[in-house]
């Protein structure tokens, strides 16, 4: 057996509470392992029984997923006394091996006296990771307010460019989209099937994106007022739509009051320690950060990095979020650059805000493995960047087969505890990435990709304009204005209806939200994507170059390119199993 491929630790990567009664235990092995067993019992059971030595109950583990070089095995245990001691036995090519905390060895060589067992110490209900239950049932729509819709009641303003004019665009262009404009278009959003909207920052700054906040307590005047936000939230809620705001707490803008005070007074400012400043004359020379005189977001000098280790900074932003939750009644907060703020800050913030609303959703913007942030008292979930990267890689690389995509999808859906996977923020594009329609060969391939995220566990999100196949490879073209005149005229009704049907199918079939997959690989059609969800719904996506013969005996739930038993190139079929 390939011992080096075996991995397990009694931490949330491999061992976690699913609920108040169930502990999930996973182990990773090489592909030479044929069966896996877990031997488990209460760590003190031998004392209760009056026995000299501890022993456990042997049960076979279930096969969880195949990765490129590994297998994952899983067991769900219900420890009667809320405690668990355990070790593993693996079978490989007729040989048995023992896996415990301090060694892996052939079973016949195992010395019970020297074994150190794994232990799940105690199932504390307060430690169970529990994202809000509504999240996995939500389909999000991401909006950049400046580019989405300008209210019909808004007066003209010369500083705004003509809506839709993207000739010779500049970084600083503003178009006048606002909060009331979003409220006026909630019917459009709801009709498409969305049940949540995520707004990029709405607070005062001098940019169109607002990620350089000057005043966290004031809605940017270009966007409207606090009353406009309250009206948006109330109206959205009346339509069954949740609202999530963007929190930029890693850094501020250079005209944030605390930073202006530091520029004026230097070390004499009471806000000096609100930032990471390493040179007394940081603002007296060319304003740059490459020499480390102060820390900023990336190397953008006008975005000074906030010291979220500082209790005053933590208090300032905690009060702000409590205000959003209590007075505005928002449903979620997305934390920009969520991996650079301090763990202590997020834990404290989570505790206080969720006393106001226990069901409020905390989402971290983290582009890589985020396990250290997902222990139950920080973020409920993160943006699932590995998923769009996997989807994009597969569709752009014709040498990859469905097996390669399976490895990537399995990695994405087994990175975190199961309940976190169910709340992962799944997307194909955002304001920070090329638009998915731009990197798709045609709208049929776009539909295939959207079908993938609509049938994955997690909470899918569509970037505004994707429903009309809006294109753009880089900023500012990835942030163009919505062409409302063309939309209202019916120009995009065909693609809109096809994407809406996928969203509505997601909303109507609980199987599509599950993490239960059965994959089917075809030697004749290596790029035919086929999987079954919860034993009930089959998904077929032809990412190959020739039509494929497929058998779909159940009721057809979605069809784009399937006829007479043949799924055409770029075809998509979803049917009951």
Domain boundaries, the chain: 3-127, 251-304, 516-576
For 438, the token pair is: 């731009």
Looking at the DSSP bridge assignments, the partners of residue 539 are 531, 574
CA 237 to chain centre: 23
Q: Is 198 left (phi over 0), alpha (psi -120 to 50) or beta?
A: beta
DSSP summary character for residue 474: S
Q: Does domain 3-127 match CATH 2.60.40.10?
A: yes
**What angle (nearest 5°) sits at the alpha carbon of residue 386, between those of residues 351 and 401?**
150
| CA–CA distance, 548 with 567 (Å, rounded to integer) | 5
Q: How many CB atoms lie within 10 A of CB 160?
A: 16
| CA–CA distance, 295 with 21 (Å, rounded to integer) | 45
Q: Which residues contact 286 (CB under 8 A, 6 or more apart)?
A: none
- What does the DSSP assignment read for 541-563? EE-SSS-EE----S-EEEEEEEE
Q: Among all chains, which residue has been given the structure tokens 């089959």?
A: 538
So what's the pLDDT on residue 1? 95
CATH architecture of 251-304: Alpha-Beta Complex (3.90)
For 222, the token pair is: 């270009």
pTM of the entire structure? 0.96
Q: Give the pLDDT confidence of 205-250 residue by residue, as tens digits.
A: 999 999 999 999 999 999 999 999 999 999 999 999 999 999 999 9
Q: How many CB atoms lie within 10 A of CB 109?
A: 9
| CA–CA distance, 111 with 105 (Å, rounded to integer) | 10
So what's the pLDDT on residue 368? 95
So what's the pLDDT on residue 114? 85
Q: Comparing 3-127 with 516-576, is the CATH topology the same? A: yes
SS3 (DSSP) at 361: strand
| CA–CA distance, 215 with 199 (Å, rounded to integer) | 17
Is there a contact between 496 and 447 (Cβ–Cβ < 8 Å)? Answer: no
For 368, the token pair is: 């890589």
CATH architecture of 516-576: Sandwich (2.60)
| CA–CA distance, 425 with 457 (Å, rounded to integer) | 9
Catalytic residue IDs: 336, 365
Q: Give the pLDDT confidence of 355-397 residue by residue, as tens digits.
A: 999 999 999 999 999 999 998 889 999 999 999 999 999 999 9
| CA–CA distance, 552 with 563 (Å, rounded to integer) | 11
- List of the chain residues with pLDDT < 50: none
Looking at the DSSP bridge assignments, the partners of residue 429 are none
Is there a contact between 135 and 380 (Cβ–Cβ < 8 Å)? Answer: yes
So what's the pLDDT on residue 103? 95
């Amino acid at each position: 057996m390939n011992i080096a491929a075996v991995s397990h630790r009694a931490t949330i990567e491999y061992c976690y509470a699913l609920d108040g009664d169930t502990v999930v235990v996973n182990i990773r092995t090489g592909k030479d392992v044929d069966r896996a067993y877990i031997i488990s019992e209460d760590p003190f059971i031998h004392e209760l029984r009056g026995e000299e030595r501890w022993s456990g109950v042997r049960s076979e583990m279930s096969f969880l997923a195949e990765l490129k070089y590994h297998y994952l095995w899983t067991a769900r245990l219900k420890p009667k006394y809320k405690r668990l001691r355990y070790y593993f036995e693996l079978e490989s090519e007729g040989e048995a091996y023992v896996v415990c905390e301090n060694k892996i060895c052939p079973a016949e060589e195992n010395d019970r006296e020297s074994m150190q067992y794994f232990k799940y110490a105690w199932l504390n209900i307060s430690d169970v990771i529990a994202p809000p239950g509504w999240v996995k049932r939500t389909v999000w729509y991401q909006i950049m307010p400046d580019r989405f819709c300008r209210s019909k009641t808004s007066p003209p303003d010369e500083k705004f460019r003509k809506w839709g004019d993207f000739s010779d665009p500049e970084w600083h262009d503003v178009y006048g989209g606002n909060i009331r404009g979003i409220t006026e278009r909630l019917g459009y959003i709801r009709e498409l099937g969305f049940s949540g909207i995520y707004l990029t920052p709405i607070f005062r700054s001098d940019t169109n994106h607002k990620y350089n906040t000057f005043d966290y307590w004031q809605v940017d005047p270009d966007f409207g007022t606090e009353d406009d936000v309250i009206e948006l939230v109330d109206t959205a809620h009346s339509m069954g739509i949740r609202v999530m705001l963007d929190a930029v707490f890693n850094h501020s803008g250079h005209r944030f009051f605390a930073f202006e005070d530091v520029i004026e007074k230097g070390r004499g400012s009471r806000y000096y320690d609100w930032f990471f400043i390493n040179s007394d004359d940081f603002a007296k020379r060319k304003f740059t950060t490459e020499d480390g005189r102060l820390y900023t977001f990336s190397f953008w000098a006008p975005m000074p990095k906030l010291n979220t280790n500082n209790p005053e900074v933590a208090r300032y932003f905690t009060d702000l979020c409590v205000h959003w939750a209590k007075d505005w009644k928002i449903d979620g907060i997305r934390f920009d650059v969520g991996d650079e703020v301090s763990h202590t800050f997020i834990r404290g913030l989570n505790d206080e805000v969720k006393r106001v609303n226990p069901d409020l959703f905390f989402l971290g913007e983290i582009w890589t493995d985020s396990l250290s942030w997902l222990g139950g008292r920080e973020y409920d979930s993160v943006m699932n960047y590995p998923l769009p990267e996997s989807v994009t890689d597969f569709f752009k690389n014709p040498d990859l087969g469905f097996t390669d995509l399976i490895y990537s999808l399995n990695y994405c859906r087994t990175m975190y505890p199961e309940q976190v996977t169910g709340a992962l923020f799944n997307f194909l594009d955002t304001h920070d990435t090329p638009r998915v329609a731009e990197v798709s060969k045609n709208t049929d391939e776009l539909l295939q990709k959207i079908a993938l995220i609509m049938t994955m566990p997690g909470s899918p999100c569509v970037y505004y304009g994707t429903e009309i196949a809006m294109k753009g490879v880089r900023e500012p073209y990835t942030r163009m204005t919505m062409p409302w005149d063309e939309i209202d005229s019916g120009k995009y009704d065909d693609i809109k209806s096809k994407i809406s049907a996928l969203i509505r199918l997601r909303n109507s079939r609980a199987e599509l939200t599950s993490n239960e997959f059965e994959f089917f690989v075809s030697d004749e059609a290596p790029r035919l994507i086929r999987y079954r969800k919860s034993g009930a719904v089959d998904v077929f996506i032809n990412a190959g170059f020739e039509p494929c013969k497929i058998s779909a005996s159940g009721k057809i739930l979605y069809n784009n390119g399937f006829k007479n038993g043949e799924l055409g190139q770029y075809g998509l079929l979803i049917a009951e199993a």
